[in-house]
Amino acid sequence: MTAAGRAKTGAKRLLERAGFQLVRSTTPQGGVDDFIPFEPTMRAARAAGLSVGDYIDEVMNATPGATQYTVDELRTLGVFAAVPDTVLEIGPGSGRYLEKTLKECSPSRYEIYETAEPWANYLVDTFGVVAQPVTGFSLDATPDDSVDLVQAHKVFNTLTFLGACRYFFEMARVTRPGGRIVFDVMTETCLAPEAMQIWATKGGSGHDSFPAAMPRRTCVDLFAKLGCTLEAHFLAPLGVASTEVLVFRKTT
Ligand SMILES: C[S@@+](CC[C@H](N)C(=O)[O-])C[C@H]1O[C@@H](n2cnc3c(N)ncnc32)[C@H](O)[C@@H]1O
């Protein structure tokens, strides 16, 4: 056994003697990247007679039609008319955007990077998507310039600044020239004093680090540097407030 292994075993024995048990964590625990539990959410959606996506929109977030609104806007902007053959989504969770995306276009490959294993398995089984291993905010398993549409919804306001930042570089890397990058962030556009008051009094999920803000200019300048032009932007509902959806096209 290595010195590190011996130290770990020693620490484990000490903890056990003190009445604690050391358990390996396979999913992120206690951070902003926690996601709603799979089984109870599916059960509740079934009991309500709703698809899981509609259940999240209507019951959990009290914003009926929120997902469809974003998808409708993206359709109007021509995102699906471009007939994306490869789609990649970061943090699809229950798949509420994924399901609606698949109603708009028929990619031959749909990759997901999702940390919540039960949800990732459900999406693979239900929609035949490819779940890629999540390793530290990278899209390692996806080659450069290989994806027509890269998207993430309601993800970057739950990650830390650095996590989002690292994913941004990766999103630009994997998108093929001419492809689109779509994601929402909680920019200053969403943070008028009234919105701040709503967040301060009614928002949050028990984690002080949610929701995370991201300056709009930071995104626009970074993606410009990475060869991606901001084509469009619009506000989308997020629970008690909103996020801003940014639509980029990779030009080089
Ligand atoms: C607030 S949820 C949004 C889920 C889904 N996009 C939606 O709008 O319903 C954030 C999602 O990101 C996932 N997630 C958290 N950290 C992640 C990471 N580092 N890489 C990929 N997904 C992550 C969570 O498990 C969760 O599914």
| pLDDT tens digits in sequence order for the chain, 252 residues long | 444 444 444 434 433 433 333 333 333 333 444 689 999 999 999 999 999 999 999 999 889 999 999 999 999 999 999 999 999 999 999 999 999 999 999 999 999 999 999 999 999 999 999 999 999 999 999 999 999 999 999 999 999 999 999 999 999 999 999 999 999 999 999 999 999 999 999 887 666 678 999 999 999 999 999 999 999 999 999 988 999 999 999 998
Residues 175, 139: contact at Cβ < 8 Å?
no
* 29 is a domain residue: no
Residue 87 counted as domain residue: yes
Range of the domain at 56: 38-250
Please check whether residue 106 lies inside any domain of the structure. Answer: yes
* Angle, CA of 204, 209 and 210, to the nearest 5°: 35
Instruction: Let me know if residue 58 belongs to a domain.
Output: yes
From 33, 38, 162, give the residue whose CB has the most ligand 1 atoms within 8 Å, as the site to mutate. Answer: 33
Residue 79 and residue 177: Cα distance in Å, rounded?
14
* Residue type, position 114, single letter: E
Specify the CATH number for the domain of residue 184.
3.40.50.150
For ligand 1, whether the C-beta of 97 sits within 6 Å is yes
Dump pLDDT digits (tens) for 17-33.
333 333 333 333 334 44
Unique residue bearing structure tokens 């890397």: 173
Instruction: Give the distance between the most distant pair of CA atoms in the chain.
Output: 63
26 located within any domain: no
Determine if ligand 1 sits within 6 Å of the CB of residue 153: yes
3 state SS of 204 = coil
In a domain, 230, yes or no: yes
**What total of structural domains would you count in the chain?**
1
Ligand 1 near 114 CB (within 6 A): yes
Give the global pTM: 0.88
Domain assignment present for 134 = yes
pLDDT tens figures, 208-223: 678 999 999 999 999 9
Which token pair is 124? 């693979």
Q: Which one of 61, 87, 114, 182 would you pick to mutate in the ligand 1 pocket, going by the greatest count of ligand atoms within 8 A of its CB?
A: 114
Distance 157 CA to ligand 1 centre (A): 10
**Residue 130 in domain:** yes
Contacts of 95 (CB under 8 A, 6+ apart): 52, 53, 119, 122, 123, 126, 127
